[in-house]
Amino acid sequence: MAVVSKQLEEVRLRVVNRLAKLLETQTRNKIFGRNPTRLIRVSHEEIIQELECSLQLAGDSASTPSIQKVLNECGRLDRSLDLLFNERQRQWNKSGAYVQALLDEFNETLTDLASTLIEKDLLERQSRVLEQIILSHENVSQWREFVKHILIDFHAIFPFNFFYIAFAEDKNLALSLYYFDDYSNEVKDQARNMMAQQVITDLNLPKDTPLEIEESTIKKERPVQDINNASLITLAIPEHRPKLAGLLGVAYTSTSTLSAREESVIRSILAVMVMVVGSSKALSRTLSELEYYSMHDPLTGLYNRRHFNAILDYEIGRSQRHNHEFSILLLDLDDFKDINDSYGHPTGDSALCEIAEALRDNLRKGDIACRIGGDEFVVLLTETGRDGAIKVAGNIGKTIRDKSFKTESGKHFHLTASIGIVTYPHDSENVTELLSGMDLAMYRAKNLGKDGAFTVEALGGESIRANRNTRDLAEKLRDALDENRILPFYQPIIDCKNDQVFAYEALARLMEPDGELIMAGSFIDIMEKYSLGRGLDRAIISNALQYKSHQMQAGHQTKLFVNLSAQEIQGRGILAYVEELCVQLSILPSCIVFEILERDAISDISNMRKFLSSLRKKGFGFALDDFGSGYNSFHYLRELHFDYVKIDGTFVRNILHSKIDFALVQNLSNLCQDIGIRTVAEFVENQETLDAVKAMGINYAQGHFIGMPGISMKLPTMQAIG
């Protein structure tokens, strides 16, 4: 920019000098031309005076006309000379004015050109600065260094002395100062005071706001010695989030005033820096928070499951290297759901935070507490054996038990925790088994009455392996469902009055890839535990109804009993599904009898009542399985109405040898007959038992003696039923 200005000034001087010389020559000619003009005028006046005198002396002589003629010509000559001299004067004036106007116009044009070139240079430099402003993860995370690089380019456009960035967060003011040289302490003190006062004023902060100052030096120019007359240009940083207000600005000392264009360019760069600094600060803060919450639980401030998994791997490696042991405690708050349901989630959240504090108070430096779920906490005790872990678990349990928690309304309540304990390497050297072991130990503490601790050692290794085998079997069952390898087998149910087949019950069988069949008793509980019961029900129902349709076309009109899991009475749409299948396969709903275990039916009487009402409206039948095994059978017989009850086979099997079982079955049969419910005796395994149940008035019988479950609905032989 300086080179361009110097070149333009040289051109200006050359042209101005030449035009000035031309104007000077014009002026000199004008001055010189005046003397001959005056001389001619004077001489001409003298001649005319002499002629007039001659004319007076001549009188009426013959020479008079000639003299008069000369006088007339002289008058005409005077008038012509006046015209000539006036025109010459006018041309001189015009030429002088033209040269002056040309000089002024050239000067103005050159000034505009210089301004344009300066603006273009400013804009080009501005563009180069802006091109360097690229947001990246590195620039955002190290935004102060990023600002430093921008300022170096910015300084090339505008040689300022100081730059500052301020952020008001919470109740503090963070001030970052950038000096463009090694200033003396006195100058730095002046700069700090000046810029801090400016920021506090612009952000409307109290004068006693605490300051956190960070300073950087960028050596570029010769330092100033006095900044009392420094000027400031500031711009506010928009609030990107609550409690994050800021200011950005430059301070400079200069003997010349900035032009409007220069100040505009400076403010435009500052505006971009405002955006960059504000966004970088907000993003940096957000990244820091994300980094924090990637390792911490946002409610309690404890470490989270992700960090626990990482630190567990690290601790295993460290303990292997140094031959150390460590223990893990898994805490699950007892009946914590009741707190949320009774007093609300805010009270529950407050209690969880107090539990976190209780954990911190009972741990040593180096131990780690984590919240890994809703009301589950894990504590990793470094270099701590089983005995030490049991002691810590006892202390934590007592602290929680003795602590009084308060609701928002001022009521008090107490909590307890069940704690599982696992110790490395004694219980396992494998992460999976350690986690599984502490889970099993915690649930054993729950089952033993809660508010206590239990170790994996007390469980024994078989429990961990059994749990792993159960999990593996659940995955095998899931694959079997996907591959349609869980099939219905059909066991006949006969009418005790005529020994004719009344119905078939569809029983699930798992077919292994090698063709081995596995009975439902080996996997049904696992199915329900891992929420596979619904898939099992639909697979059996779909296959059984299609087979039932073929049997009906062949003339067999027996009923079909189908087992349902407890999940299906929760409004999962099983009735609509079966109803649609019945329509597609032309099966009357009255041919289908749904069968549910007694323990499942009585676990949720409210939903059971709705389910039975909907079932009857659609025309399906219902049977209660394992009747008599419940502790309150009479209550739900009064509350619910069933079409069939299947008397628990453990009673039927022993009626020939146990007076108690005989009396129970007899009375259950009589009770059902009195209230209009038909009965089915299960586990009929010989002729004598069949005869006994017939004598009791039981309506139907089922068991291995009647017929074994088979792949098809075969009629039992007459020999089998006597």
> Which residues have CB under 8 Å from 512's CB, separation 6+?
485, 518
User: Could you give the CA distance from residue 602 to residue 149 in angstroms, rounded to a whole number?
Assistant: 74
pLDDT band at 283 (very low <50, low <70, confident <90, very high): low
Q: Where are the beta strands (DSSP E) in 436-586?
A: 453-455, 486-495, 501-511, 517-519, 559-563
Q: Which helix (H) or strand (E) holds 67?
A: helix 64-131
> Which residues have CB under 8 Å from 357's CB, separation 6+?
none
- H runs (alpha helix) in 231-344: 260-293, 305-322, 336-343
Distances (CA, A) of 316 to 310, 323, 328, 644: 10, 10, 12, 58
Active-site residues: which are they?
375
Least confident of 104-113, 299-308, 343-352, 453-462: 104-113
Q: Answer whether 403's CB lies under 8 Å from 415's CB.
A: yes
Distances (CA, A) of 628 to 155, 652, 683: 92, 11, 14
Which of 427, 459, 491 is the last residue before a domain boundary?
A: 459
User: Could you give the CA distance from residue 584 to residue 555 in angstroms, rounded to a whole number?
Assistant: 18
- Residue 48: closest CA among 71, 21, 65: 71
Residues in the chain: 722
Residue 721 above 50 pLDDT?
no
In this prediction, residue 355 carries a pLDDT of 94
Tokens 């591959």, residue? 483
Is residue 365, in this structure, part of any structural domain at all? yes
In this prediction, residue 239 carries a pLDDT of 58
Q: Answer whether 150's CB lies under 8 Å from 220's CB.
A: no
pLDDT band at 488 (very low <50, low <70, confident <90, very high): very high
Q: Answer whether 214's CB lies under 8 Å from 145's CB.
A: no
Domain range for residue 372?
A: 305-459
Is residue 396, in this structure, part of any structural domain at all? yes
Of 348 and 158, the structure prediction assigns the larger pLDDT to 348
Tell me: do 498 and 439 sit in the same domain.
no
Which of 459, 491, 519 is the last residue before a domain boundary?
A: 459
Q: Answer whether 227's CB lies under 8 Å from 161's CB.
A: yes
Residue 718 above 50 pLDDT?
no
Q: Answer whether 339's CB lies under 8 Å from 415's CB.
A: yes
Backbone angles phi, psi at 499, to 5 degrees: 60, 15
Which of 397, 426, 459 is the last residue before a domain boundary?
A: 459
CATH label of the domain that carries residue 504: 3.20.20.450
Is residue 465, in this structure, part of any structural domain at all? no
pLDDT band at 30 (very low <50, low <70, confident <90, very high): low
Tell me: do 445 and 549 sit in the same domain.
no
- Please give the structure tokens belonging to residue 116: 């344009």
Tell me: do 539 and 675 sit in the same domain.
yes
Is residue 327, in this structure, part of any structural domain at all? yes
Question: 232: which strand partners?
Answer: 251
Instruction: State percent of the chain over pLDDT 90.
Output: 26
Give the distance, in angstroms, between the CA of residue 277 and the centroid of all CA atoms in the same chain: 23
Tell me: do 539 and 680 sit in the same domain.
yes
- What is the average pLDDT across 13-24? 70
Question: Under DSSP, is residue 176 helix (H, G, I), strand (E, B) or coil?
Answer: strand
Domain count, the chain: 4
Backbone angles phi, psi at 189, to 5 degrees: -60, -40
Of 230 and 721, the structure prediction assigns the larger pLDDT to 230
Tell me: do 280 and 429 sit in the same domain.
no
pLDDT 10s digits, 70-109: 777 777 777 777 777 777 777 767 766 776 676 676 666 6
CATH label of the domain that carries residue 420: 3.30.70.270
Question: Under DSSP, is residue 384 helix (H, G, I), strand (E, B) or coil?
Answer: coil
Is residue 709, in this structure, part of any structural domain at all? no
The DSSP output letter for 365 is B
> Which residues have CB under 8 Å from 377's CB, separation 6+?
302, 330, 331, 355, 356, 359, 369, 370, 371
Is residue 480, in this structure, part of any structural domain at all? yes
Tell me: do 287 and 318 sit in the same domain.
no
Q: Answer whether 588's CB lies under 8 Å from 582's CB.
A: yes
Is residue 632, in this structure, part of any structural domain at all? yes
In this prediction, residue 1 carries a pLDDT of 45
The mean pLDDT value of the chain amounts to: 79
- Residue 508: closest CA among 483, 482, 478, 537: 537
- H runs (alpha helix) in 618-658: 633-639, 649-652
Tell me: do 191 and 323 sit in the same domain.
no
In this prediction, residue 566 carries a pLDDT of 74
Phi-psi domain of 577 (left: phi exceeds 0; alpha: psi -120 through 50; beta: other): alpha
Tell me: do 453 and 321 sit in the same domain.
yes
Residue 625 above 80 pLDDT?
yes
Is residue 23, in this structure, part of any structural domain at all? yes
- H runs (alpha helix) in 530-658: 533-553, 574-585, 598-601, 605-617, 633-639, 649-652
Distances (CA, A) of 370 to 25, 345, 359, 428, 468: 99, 20, 9, 21, 25
Distances (CA, A) of 490 to 366, 522, 713: 62, 18, 6
Residue 704 above 70 pLDDT?
yes
User: Could you give the CA distance from residue 566 to residue 13 in angstroms, rounded to a whole number?
Assistant: 103
Tell me: do 327 and 251 sit in the same domain.
no
pLDDT band at 304 (very low <50, low <70, confident <90, very high): very high
Tell me: do 531 and 562 sit in the same domain.
yes
Give the distance, in angstroms, between the CA of residue 256 and the centroid of all CA atoms in the same chain: 52
Question: Under DSSP, is residue 421 helix (H, G, I), strand (E, B) or coil?
Answer: strand
Tell me: do 285 and 309 sit in the same domain.
no
User: Could you give the CA distance from residue 234 to residue 248 in angstroms, rounded to a whole number?
Assistant: 6
Tell me: do 115 and 206 sit in the same domain.
no
User: Could you give the CA distance from residue 486 to residue 480 in angstroms, rounded to a whole number?
Assistant: 6
| Farthest CA pair distance, the chain | 197
